Amino acid sequence: AGTIAIVSWFSDNQYTSSFFASIASTKFISSLSLILCAISLYSVNTLPGSRFDRTIGKGAAYGVIVICALSIIELVTNIPVSPDRLFIGFSKRSYAGTMEIFASLLFLLLAIVLIKLRRTGSHILVQVLLPVVFFPAVFITFNYISGLDYLGSIPFAVTTALTTSLGIMLVCVGIFFSRPLQNLSFSYERKIAAYFAVAILLLGIVFFSISANNQKLLQSSKMVDRTSKVLLKTNVILTEAQDIETGARGFIITSDEQFLEPYHRSSVSIIYSIDTLRALTAEAPVQQVLVDTLLSLAKQNIVLRGRLIEMKRAGLEGQLLTIMAIGAEKKLMDNMRQVIRNIQTAEQRRLQARMDINTITARGSQRIISVIEVLVTLLIIIVAIIVYRNTLSRNRAEAALRKSEAFARSIIDNAAGAITIKDAEGRYMMVNHAAQQLIGLPEHQILGKYVRDFFPDIDVGLESSDRAVLENKNRVESTSSVKIGDKTVHMLTTRFPLFDENNQVYGLCSMSTDITPIKEAQEVIEAAHRQQHLMLNGLQNLLEASLDIICVINEDGQYNQVSANCPDLFGYEASDLIGKHYTEFMYPEDIAYSLSCLKEIVAGTTVRDCENRYIKKDGSLVPLLWTVIWSPENKMFYAIIKDATEKKLTAQQLTELNAQLSKRANELMASNTELEQFAYVASHDLQEPLRMVTSFLQLLEKRLEGALDETNKKYIAFAVDGAERMKTLIQDLLQYSRIGTSKEMVVTVDCNEVLRSVRNIFELSIRETNADLVIHPLPVIKGERAQIHQLFQNLIGNAIKYSQPAAPKIEVGFNEVDNNWVFYVKDQGVGINPKFFDKIFIIFQRLHNRSDFSGTGIGLAICKKIVERHGGSIWVESEQGQGSTFFVRLPK
């Protein structure tokens, strides 16, 4: 705006003068001041700016001060010193006029504000001067907007251009939101108060403008109404004058008295109407002169018409005609009409002017309404922004406060010690979890109560301690003991006062730490110290009584300390060894080996039983065993020296024993070889004669089939049966002997597959006896497959064989006990008397006659040997006639 005004001023451009009438009417010096203020404000907002920027900003502000000062001097003293005179020659225009004093004062204050804006200490002055500049500019702006002249009493303010006031307002707003003032923080209450103050002031200006506009409109409306009455009254006067003229002329022409009635009536009323017109135009002096002229003409017209009427009545027709021929009455009427037209024309001009004023006033009212709408909208937006920002800030602050409180409370609640806050009267205001546990109640049952409500025995001492803290306002530490149930708790308590914003004590915080474990630990440590002292004394006595020598050797290999039992082993006193190198008493052939052991020890290896020989005081040799460790921190060797004489003897005895064991092992190997040969003989040579006996007996029976009687057949059958039983017995013995010498590998054995194979073997017997064999799911174990198969085959075979006359029912399953598999084979057979439980697992031991149940008495012995070979055990639970349950425990 300032630039456009200056260009228009220099160029005298008619286009800018018409299109930007308000801007072009701005004084040159006002536009220049506005531009300089804008430059200074821009410089201020370039923080942190260069030195050049700061110089430009200050120079612009000081330039405004100089311009305003010169303008004020010229306005006050009429001395032509205004700076715009310098540009008259360049612009080829007449003098444009000095800047208004009101605008000069406002720009001067703005320049001061811009200079002080960079100084933080001057911000209070800035905040004071800004409203002083801003609100007068607002008044000037509203004076233009409303179309009212309520600043008419301040001519130097009215003459300030609209663009000048708007420019000043914008500069004020820019200063308020400039960077130097961004560090100013106002509370929400101050912002709301400032908002309402500005809102009330602006609305007050608006409502004042509306009220003034309404008054002006009302006054203008009254004046329009009065003008309308004037026009109406002039028409009435003209009508009455015409009635006078018509009545008089009618009488003169007809001599009829009826024509005189309008004449007499209007002669009276016209005078009254003119008086009324005089009252209506009382505020218009020119109209008053015309009204006086009209009154004079009206009276002359009445008098002239009266004379003519009298002449008519007197019969003076000649004189009457002479007067009428002259046209005096017509001239009077023409003059009256002209005066009335002049009055009406003047009133119509006034009416148009008043209507124009009404239009301007109405437009001003519309502008004010628009301003009200804009202001209300802006105020609503501003207050919404303030409330929204405050709400966000408050919400963030409340969230941060809640988070901080939760954080602090979390720290307090999770603190190991008991933390409490009490008011000045001693009532609990807050207790953390540890304090709640100490008191034994939840927080809501503690708050508001006193210490005496929970610990009456120590209440007096606590109250005195609390009172001392509150009175002295100092931090105090103390210890106390609290009896809680059957337990005494020792507490270390720190108390300190709490202060409000006025530095007044409002409460007390106590932090109590349970030092019972520390007290107990101290007691334990003291007891341990006492016990350690006793143990050290006992250890010292033990070392003195020990046959081993304990010694300390420094890094140079010299004895530092030697136990007192040294003479018992070496014959030397301990003092004889102190300071001597440990190899000085060593047998020369063992020194090299001992030094190599020493290197290993220094390298970090703990050497045990390092053997060497010492030369005793009597010259004899004693074998020694050294256990040595190296302490890098102390640079010392710690050694235990033992007499190895007994170990040597023991080693010799072990050598002899190993020789005997080796000889016994060879004998056992030979025995095993003989056993294998026996097994071969048993499996081939011993069985061969039995097969021959059986074969020849059967052949003899066939050849003598017709010659043998029943007795002979029976004898042959007995002989064959004995041979078969002998063969079976040999096979069982062979199987029993092979169990201990089996070389089968231990593998994973699926017991379910084993039991399916056993079922297939006894399928015929199961059908013949109609047996019910129930096999539950079994585990997978580790063992020798063939032997596990033989184990279950023997147990199930016995369960089928030793059954009751009824169909056998057999159940096979397992249980998992600790780290063992416990299998069971349960039957409902004849059962076993408990006194024979041990006998049945011995080889060749039978409980029944061969006529009742077949067998050799080796089956269960084989089972026991298989189970024991697998590291398990076998046992039976049974009652005579109640069936039996065999249990087999095998380790996992």
Q: Are residues 1 and 148 in the same domain?
A: yes
Please indicate, yes or no, if residue 107 is contained in any of the structural domains: yes
Please work out, in degrees rounded to the nearest 5, the angle formed at the alpha carbon of residue 346 by the alpha carbons of 340 and 351: 120
- Say how far apart CA 41 and CA 34 lie, in whole Å: 11
Both 250 and 139 in one domain: the answer is no
Rounded-to-integer distance, Cα 134 and Cα 284, Å = 42
Q: What per-residue confidence (pLDDT) applies to 822?
A: 94
**Token pair of 494, please?**
């720190």
Q: Which two tokens stand for residue 582?
A: 């440990």
490 and 583 both lie in a single domain? no
How many CA atoms does the CB half-sphere of 37 hold within 13 Å? Answer: 31
Tokens of 691: 């097969």
Alpha helices (H) along 78-187 = 88-91, 101-116, 123-146, 155-158, 162-176
409-418 LR contacts (CB < 8 Å, sep 24+): 415/511, 416/513, 416/514, 417/511, 417/512, 417/513, 417/514, 418/491, 418/510, 418/511, 418/512, 418/513, 418/514
Instruction: Answer whether 455's CB lies under 8 Å from 462's CB.
Output: yes
Burial class, 512, CB count within 10 angstroms (exposed 0-12 / middle 13-18 / buried 19+): buried
Residue 714 counted as domain residue: no
Residues 545, 608 within the same domain: yes
For 263, the domain range is 228-366
Whether 778 and 882 share a structural domain? yes
**447 and 537 assigned to the same domain:** no
CB atoms within 10 A of CB 854: 10
Examine residue 691 and state whether it is found in any structural domain, yes or no.
no
| 243 plus 181 within the same structural domain | no
Q: Closest by alpha carbon to 762, among 830, 712, 808, 716?
A: 808
Number of domains in the chain: 5
Give bridge partners of residue 825 from the DSSP assignment: 812, 886
603 in any annotated domain: yes
3 state DSSP class of 162: helix
Task: Provide the sign of the torsion angle of the four alpha carbons 589, 592, 597, 601, taken in this order.
Answer: positive
The Cα 857–Cα 843 span in angstroms is 6
Question: What tokens does 880 get?
Answer: 């005579």
The kind and range of the H/E element at 782 are strand 780-783
Do 488 and 617 fall within a single domain?
no
Domain boundary, last residue among 624, 649, 674: 649
Which residues is 510 bridged to in the sheet? 420, 495
Mean pLDDT by 10 residues, the chain (892 residues): 52 45 61 85 73 82 87 80 59 55 86 83 80 80 64 53 80 79 62 70 68 70 79 86 82 79 85 86 83 86 81 74 70 86 84 74 67 72 76 81 80 80 85 82 85 69 73 80 71 83 83 79 79 69 72 90 85 89 90 88 78 89 88 86 81 80 73 60 61 72 72 71 63 60 73 91 86 91 88 88 80 90 89 76 61 62 87 88 89 86
Q: Is residue 382 in a domain?
A: no
440 and 326: one domain? no
- What is the CATH classification number for the domain harbouring 346? 1.20.120
* Whether residues 54 and 162 fall in one domain: yes
Same domain, 148 and 239: no
For residue 802, being part of any structural domain is answered with: yes
Q: Any idea which residue has 């251009």 for tokens? A: 161
| 617, 572 Cβ separation under 8 angstroms | yes
CA distance linking residue 17 with residue 9, whole number of Å: 9
In angstroms, the CA 597 to CA 602 distance is 9
Asked, as a colleague might, if the bond just before 48 is cis with ω within 30 of 0, I would say yes
Last residue of a domain, one of 592, 623, 649: 649
Does 493 reside within a domain?
Answer: yes
Residue 855 DSSP SS3? coil
Q: Which of 472, 490, 522 corresponds to the end of one domain?
A: 522
User: CATH no. for residue 836?
Assistant: 3.30.565.10
* Cα→Cα distances 167→26, 118, 176, 219, 437, Å: 11, 21, 14, 34, 72
Look at residue 728 and tell me if it is in a domain: no
CATH label of the domain that carries residue 447 = 3.30.450.20
According to the model, what pLDDT value does residue 15 have?
Answer: 44
Check whether residue 80 and residue 5 sit in a common domain.
Answer: yes
